[in-house]
Amino acid sequence: MLRSLCAGAFAGFLLAVPLQAQSERTGSFGITPYAGYMKFGNLVNGPLGSSVRGAAGPVYGAEAAVGLLRGLALVGNVAYASSDLEVGLPVVGGLSFGKSSALMYDAALRLSLPLGGGGTGGIRPFVQAGAGAMRQEVEVPPVATRSTNFAYNVGAGVDVPLGPRLGLQLMAKDYIGKFDTREATAVDLNAKTTHNWTLSAGVRLGL
């Protein structure tokens, strides 16, 4: 149900883009499908340095960016990652015992600065900051539970033009949030705010 709502909200965001934004300079509106790698923070911290976390794994997503001013854009993002659920133990390391997944949806403001070519033709390093939600689901058969929590995000990367309406985007991004153990288990366990890092590469398609 939540995935359907997210998809509908994302589609509505795209349809709501002002028509004048599509008639501005190349790159004022673009869609970037991407793939990469995500390293999860701890869901729960246990005694003697133990923890429960999702193992690092692949992440897939898509962004839509709308230029607001020169060098400033509004970015909407939806991403999904899945991996093994593991217990982290001192010395031993991670032991898998279930499955973990996360659905992220957020919006951010992105500030970029062209280098080299100047105007719209140069390489564009950028930084961004925003907020949204992170829905995490853990499954230890036959039981599955989930939690949706507010998450900040910060990121930095570079956009490399490949053509008038085509570019390569490389980005590192951090989702900062906390697994809501009370929602997931009805018990307030030792969950702390964690950092969930992604490294991704995508192809920007200007419309």
Which carries the bigger pLDDT value, residue 35 or residue 98? 35
Mean pLDDT of 45-53: 65
Q: Which residues contact 113 (CB under 8 A, 6 or more apart)?
A: 71, 124, 125, 126
Give the closest residue to 78 by CA, choosing from 56, 58, 60, 99.
60
The range of the structural domain enclosing residue 54 comes to 29-206
In this predicted structure, the answer to whether residue 193 has a pLDDT above a threshold of 90 is no
Residue 142 forms part of a structural domain: yes
Q: What is the dihedral of CA 45, 191, 140, 173, to 10 degrees?
A: -100
pLDDT for 190 equals 55
Separation between Cα atoms, residue 32 and residue 75, nearest integer Å? 10
In this predicted structure, the answer to whether residue 3 has a pLDDT above a threshold of 50 is no
User: Rounded to whole angstroms, what are the CA distances from 18 to 52, 65, 69?
Assistant: 44, 12, 14
Residue 72 forms part of a structural domain: yes
Please name the amino acid found at residue 181. T
Residue 123 forms part of a structural domain: yes
pLDDT for 36 equals 98
In this predicted structure, the answer to whether residue 188 has a pLDDT above a threshold of 60 is no
pLDDT for 85 equals 84
pLDDT for 203 equals 97
Residue 163 forms part of a structural domain: yes
Separation between Cα atoms, residue 196 and residue 57, nearest integer Å? 11
pLDDT for 23 equals 34
Looking at the structure of the chain, the number of domains it has is 1
| Rg of the chain, C-alpha, whole Å | 19
In this predicted structure, the answer to whether residue 107 has a pLDDT above a threshold of 90 is yes
Dump pLDDT digits (tens) for 54-102: 788 999 999 999 999 888 999 999 999 998 887 766 645 556 678 889 9
Dump pLDDT digits (tens) for 124-180: 999 999 999 999 888 877 777 888 889 999 999 999 999 888 999 999 999 998 776
Mean pLDDT of 40-48: 70
Any idea what the CATH number is for the domain that residue 126 is in?
A: 2.40.160.20
SS3 per residue for the chain: CHHHHHHHHHHHHHHCCCHHHHCCCCCCEEEEEEEEEEECCEEEECHHHCEEEECCEEEEEEEEEEEEECCEEEEEEEEEEEEEEEEEECCCEEEEEEEEEEEEEEEEEEEECCECCCCCCCEEEEEEEEEEEEEEEEEECCEEEEEEEEEEEEEEEEEEEEECCEEEEEEEEEEEECCCHHHHHCCCCCCCCEEEEEEEEEEEEEC
Residue 16 forms part of a structural domain: no
Residue 13 forms part of a structural domain: no
Residue 12 forms part of a structural domain: no
Separation between Cα atoms, residue 187 and residue 42, nearest integer Å? 17
pLDDT for 205 equals 93
Q: Residue 202 — pLDDT band, cuts 50, 70, 90? A: very high
Residue 23 forms part of a structural domain: no
